[in-house]
Structure 1
Amino acid sequence: MSEKGDRSATVTDEVLQSFETHRRELCAYAYRMLGSSFEAEDAVQETFTRAWKSYDGFEGRSSLRSWLYKITTNVCLDMLDGPQRRARPMDLSGPSTPDSQLPAPEPDYVWVEPIPNGLAFGADPAEAASAKDTLRLAFVAAVQHLPASQRAILIMREVLRFSASETADMLEVSPASVNSALQRARATMSKVQEKSTVSDAFSETDEQQRKLVDDFVKAFESYDMTALTDLLKADVALSMPPFPLWVSGPENVAAFMLGTGQACRNSRLIPLAGANGQPAFGHYKPSDEEPGLWTPWSITVLELDGSTISGLNFFLDTEKLFPLFGLPMEYREN
């Protein structure tokens, strides 16, 4: 390779590496916008493609970070060109009785999906702590109620802390338009979030939270419904996307687990590095065909409220989600 070619390759590597340093925060932003971890990854990849193609025209009039956010916003707005919004089962209907028949599953584009912590958080603990609250499932679902441009403005201003002028530049509107849209977005969010499940940020250093999670694993794997219900908040919600069914309350959760959900008996929960800033597990159920073999059942994400569990989220699309979380498609105990 010629010296000119060597320099060109070096410049290419340096530019691409400068993009990569922003991958996680851009993925978190796109996830908040889109409600899908897979679409968020696609959006970031498309952002980098567009950024590379137009890099010669980037004159440094803004920071590289702001420029990439501007491109990511445009990518997300293109992807949100339609009326469909992602939701959680509790956003679509009231709770079901625990003996309800399972309804037909809905397509994956209906649901807010979980995102692995590793896709959304950097190595900086302070940065991760500040991001967790706005990656909660309830927050992401609430944001989906906003029109796409308001969604972008709310996230840029209140989550990412861009100024009104920076946000206006990225969206190519006036600062007055940004402030007006932000007020409308806040009003909508205040109404929607009144109905949202409350969850605390999870910290591995919080001994009470760690004990709560450990006690849940013990109760669930032993299928001890008495011990399990003692850990649950009075208005706990259990959901299982892609089924548009959910149940509320410890007694109803126990009845559901002993009825429709009894296939979960003797399950194994494999701890993950977390999802949406919350404790998460790869959930395997016993195989019907081979003793000693467990097969994928769900990515299970807990929501915590003080000393109780306020949400049990079982995401059943294991063919997509287990590879995303780096999990094998079978589990065997040694």
Structure 2
Amino acid sequence: MSEAVIMLAAMTVLTREVDDGSAADAFLADAQQYRRELLAHCYRMTGSLHDAEDLVQETYLRAWKSYNNFQGKSSVRTWLYRIATNTCLTALDSRQRRPLPTGLGAPSSDPTDDIVARGEVPWLEPLPDDSTDPSNIVGSRESVRLAFVAALQHLSPRQRAVLVLREVLQWKAAEVADAIGSSTAAVNSLLQRARAQLDEVGPSQDDGLQLPDSAEAQDLLTRYIDAFESYNIEQLVELFTADAVWEMPPFDGWYQGPQDIVLLSKTHCPAQGPGDMRFLRTTANGQTAAAVYLLNRETGVFEPLQLHVLAIGSDGINHVVAFHMTSFEKWGLPDTLPVAT
């Protein structure tokens, strides 16, 4: 049963406890339109799609239970964001930050060394784009890009909340203060410290990214896919920028430069030759992406391996995060592919 169905079922039960059924129906109709943007908000706060889905469900349940106390002093949207933010802050009290390998503080790795999986680390997760509503993709693309969400992980939960509410949602300082139970002066101080912390993390690799549907990005993605599917790994050298970065959680290493990235692929890629991998185009975090399937020689089908999320600039690919995946259900893609006949 999907998370959305569970949430609606719970609300249906709660509906029987509410006297004014028309108000309940109006709330459901009004609130559901904000579900996708609330998911993006909770994702920015947590860095986890799974956590974000749970927190959105908790947000709606909290809102439903307290709906009779909603006085209409703000819009339903603002009210839901207040609840979602505080729900995230409560959850983050007991959770670790979610890094990428580059965020662990270690230098770049030797591509010929063994790769080490760190299953105990709560890694940053990718976010599917909302293909049902292109306006949502455009509106939230920059604020859910991997580099930005990874940078947010360096902030305390309250710094994260303030920065997102002020600079992504464009709330006034007084509105943020009211939402998180603080003072305007404290909010301004938190924002100042958050900006300083982000400056220390370093410049964003998202600057000047090509849009996923641009001709440039799609052409480069075609060449990238061809190189892997034909097992012509050497072709990748010409696709990456000089300072390109490759990382692949849950493995804790990261690699910089075209030569090291190619050597890593040749040393550790599980494919044995041409035809062992299949790629399907998609998008994630508002960026160009590809779902990667590996041939299982015992079953004779292609099974999920990784989701490659690419940062493509004007001069080539400058960053790839290859997330280990066991399912592409959230991207609306099949979990297996047959071998072409």
Letter in 1 for 2:235: A
Asked if 2 retains the 8 angstrom alpha-carbon contact of 1:51 and 1:68, the reply is yes
Letter in 2 for 1:324: K
Alpha-carbon distance between aligned partners in 2 of 1:122 and 1:327, rounded to the nearest angstrom:
14
Residue of structure 2 aligned with 1:129, choices 138, 159, 162: 138
Within a 5 Å distance, the mapping from 1:112-261 to structure 2 comes to: 112-118=124-130, 123=133, 125=135, 128-194=137-203, 196-198=204-206, 200-261=208-269
Superimposed CA distance per residue, residues 81-136 of structure 1 (whole angstroms, 9 cap, x where no aligned partner):
036211000111211111111213323x5211000012xx87253x5334211211
Aligned to 2:10: none
The answer to whether the aligner puts 1:329 opposite 2:335 as a matched pair is: yes
Q: CA separation of 1:323/1:204 partners in 2, compared to 1, >3 Å: closer, same or farther? A: closer
Within a 5 Å distance, the mapping from 1:30-41 to structure 2 comes to: 30-41=42-53
The answer to whether the aligner puts 1:66 opposite 2:78 as a matched pair is: yes
Displacement, 1:205?
A: 4.6
Superimposed CA distance per residue, residues 144-163 of structure 1 (whole angstroms, 9 cap, x where no aligned partner):
11111111000000111111
Alpha-carbon distance between aligned partners in 2 of 1:264 and 1:184, rounded to the nearest angstrom:
49
Identical-pair percentage: 38
Alpha-carbon distance between aligned partners in 2 of 1:152 and 1:264, rounded to the nearest angstrom:
46
Displacement, 1:257?
A: 1.0
Q: CA separation of 1:264/1:13 partners in 2, compared to 1, >3 Å: closer, same or farther? A: farther
Aligned to 1:302: 310
Aligned to 1:269: 279
Letter in 1 for 2:224: F
Alpha-carbon distance between aligned partners in 2 of 1:261 and 1:308, rounded to the nearest angstrom:
22
After TM superposition, the structure 1 stretch with the greater mean CA deviation from structure 2, 32-41 or 254-263, is: 254-263
After TM superposition, the structure 1 stretch with the greater mean CA deviation from structure 2, 8-17 or 141-150, is: 8-17
Letter in 2 for 1:163: K
Q: What's the secondary structure of 1:309's corresponding residue?
A: strand
Letter in 2 for 1:94: P
Aligned to 2:41: 29
Q: What's the secondary structure of 1:230's corresponding residue?
A: helix
Displacement, 1:271?
A: 1.4
Alpha-carbon distance between aligned partners in 1 of 2:191 and 2:272, rounded to the nearest angstrom:
44
Superimposed CA distance per residue, residues 25-48 of structure 1 (whole angstroms, 9 cap, x where no aligned partner):
111111000000110111111000
Aligned to 2:4: none
Q: CA separation of 1:97/1:327 partners in 2, compared to 1, >3 Å: closer, same or farther? A: same
Displacement, 1:9?
A: 4.7
Letter in 1 for 2:70: F
Letter in 1 for 2:150: A
Alpha-carbon distance between aligned partners in 2 of 1:94 and 1:30, rounded to the nearest angstrom:
30
Alpha-carbon distance between aligned partners in 1 of 2:338 and 2:218, rounded to the nearest angstrom:
25
Q: Any unmatched runs of 5+ in structure 2?
A: 1-15
Displacement, 1:251?
A: 0.6
Q: CA separation of 1:331/1:83 partners in 2, compared to 1, >3 Å: closer, same or farther? A: closer
Superimposed CA distance per residue, residues 287-313 of structure 1 (whole angstroms, 9 cap, x where no aligned partner):
13144x211111121111213011121
Displacement, 1:12?
A: 2.7
Structure 1 residue ranges, 4+ long, deviating more than 6 angstroms after superposition: none
TM-score by length of 2: 0.88
Aligned to 2:290: 281
Q: What's the secondary structure of 1:301's corresponding residue?
A: strand
Alpha-carbon distance between aligned partners in 2 of 1:179 and 1:124, rounded to the nearest angstrom:
34
TM-score by length of 1: 0.90
Letter in 2 for 1:268: R
Alpha-carbon distance between aligned partners in 1 of 2:113 and 2:150, rounded to the nearest angstrom:
25
User: How well do the aligned residues superpose, as a CA RMSD in angstroms?
Assistant: 2.2
Superimposed CA distance per residue, residues 143-198 of structure 1 (whole angstroms, 9 cap, x where no aligned partner):
1111111110000001111111111111121212111111111111111133x534
Asked if 2 retains the 8 angstrom alpha-carbon contact of 1:234 and 1:249, the reply is yes
Letter in 1 for 2:112: D
Residue of structure 2 aligned with 1:46, choices 54, 58, 75: 58
Alpha-carbon distance between aligned partners in 2 of 1:299 and 1:60, rounded to the nearest angstrom:
43
Letter in 2 for 1:101: D
Q: Any unmatched runs of 5+ in structure 1?
A: none
Letter in 2 for 1:322: F
Alpha-carbon distance between aligned partners in 1 of 2:162 and 2:65, rounded to the nearest angstrom:
26
The answer to whether the aligner puts 1:97 opposite 2:110 as a matched pair is: yes
Alpha-carbon distance between aligned partners in 2 of 1:27 and 1:313, rounded to the nearest angstrom:
21
Letter in 2 for 1:269: F
